[in-house]
Copies of this chain bind each other. A is one copy, B any other.
Amino acid sequence: MNKFGRLFSLSIFGESHGESVGVTLDGVPAGIPLNEKAFAADLARRKSGKRGTTPRKESDTPHILSGVFRGRTTGAPLTILFYNENTLSGDYANLVAHPRPSHADWVATKKFKGYADYRGGGHFSGRLTLALVAAGVVAKKILKRRHRTLEIGSQLLEIGGCAEPARFPEIIEAALRGRDSVGGLIECRVQGVPVGWGEPFFDSAESVISHLLFSVPAVKGVEFGSGFAAARMKGSEHNDPIVSMDGTTATNNAGGIVGGITNGNEIVVRVAIKPTASISSPQMTLSTETGRPEKLIVKGRHDACIAMRAPVVVEAAVAIALCDLSLIARAQGL
């Protein structure tokens, strides 16, 4: 469904090789200073260009179509549009009959009965995360307005199983040489979130955050605090005793969320990103025309490690989810 959020909500639209990608935000408070420049820093973090990312170059210039007047948000829906510029649709013609392994080509064809825009993944392209990043910029502004100490950051913990950032370039080079791709692990941390965000029973803070994170292409796992390691721990190890009246705990295995509700400690969430499905070494697929296996060489321009561009996307998703929860909490006088 093209809608997320109860009070701060967004709908996104667009295709990789169509005219544009965009997002409409609803519930943006009036009076927040905003112009196109505000998006530059986060958009730059998402951009390709570094070794290991796609050679497709896009200016990614945001156009604010509505919701801003005289440099401030008006309270009305805020639409941000990005025109697609560097589209080479010819690259994708072959993929209609030869669905790329682990890409959305085949399910999109089936679900949309042959009418999906298949060029560059169409609506399923990672390019749609541009809209999420733009929404994240606004979400962070809203969050920081009432919660001045709130800080959110994200980083690439691992790529290809390696947790030493100094060795990342080496791993990328190996992937490029092998015409292959690698996955990665991203962590997002948020300080300064007050106690009380999250709505039982179904809108636990983890539920809302994971909902948005799993809408990001390539995400295969989400964990909070101790995460999967918790399954291997004892209660005596895992429990986080409260040590001060503001709720600070001695350890933070909870990742800042207990009973689905933020507890005032740092929120810690980790996200597993699968290796880019598009690789240029030969793969087997099925010809949907002949019904027989065929060798496929995916042309086009791809990321060897999409996880490199994803930390800002993860951060945006977490910020959007928290922003919605923060407004609901405000309605409760929190």
Each complex incorporates copies of this chain amounting to: 4
Given known pairs A259-B107, A261-B108, A327-B331, the reply for A307 and B66 (CB within 8 Å) is: no
A279's partner among B6, B26, B239, B331 (CB-CB below 8 A) is B239
A331 CA to B325 CA in the complex, in Å? 11
The answer to the question of A161 belonging to the interface, with a C-beta cut-off of 8 Å to chain B, is: yes
Q: By the criterion CB–CB under 8 Å, are A75 and B115 in contact?
A: yes
Whole-angstrom distance between the Cβ of A206 and the nearest chain B Cβ:
4
Inter-chain contacts of A229 with B (CB < 8 A): 272
A254 CA to B219 CA in the complex, in Å? 10
Inter-chain contacts of A104 with B (CB < 8 A): 258-261
A277 CA to B275 CA in the complex, in Å? 36
A230's partner among B128, B183, B245 (CB-CB below 8 A) is B183
A2 CA to B24 CA in the complex, in Å? 9
A14 CA to B67 CA in the complex, in Å? 7
The answer to the question of A208 belonging to the interface, with a C-beta cut-off of 8 Å to chain B, is: yes
Q: By the criterion CB–CB under 8 Å, are A228 and B124 in contact?
A: no
Q: By the criterion CB–CB under 8 Å, are A66 and B13 in contact?
A: yes
A142 CA to B211 CA in the complex, in Å? 24
Minimum CB distance partner of A226 in chain B: B220
The answer to the question of A9 belonging to the interface, with a C-beta cut-off of 8 Å to chain B, is: yes
Which residues 55-79 of A have a CB within 8 angstroms of B?
65-67, 69, 72-79
Tell me which of A69, A202, A249 has the highest count of chain B C-beta atoms within 10 A of its own C-beta.
Answer: A202
A235 CA to B302 CA in the complex, in Å? 12
Given A2-B202, A3-B11, A107-B195: 6 more A-B contacts, CB < 8 Å: A75-B116, A77-B201, A108-B261, A221-B228, A236-B283, A241-B285
A–B pairs, 30, beta carbons within 8 Å: A3-B9, A7-B331, A12-B201, A13-B67, A13-B77, A19-B65, A30-B114, A31-B112, A74-B123, A75-B332, A77-B201, A102-B235, A102-B238, A110-B247, A111-B332, A123-B200, A161-B231, A175-B234, A207-B215, A220-B227, A221-B221, A221-B230, A226-B274, A230-B273, A231-B272, A234-B275, A241-B286, A245-B288, A327-B331, A331-B331
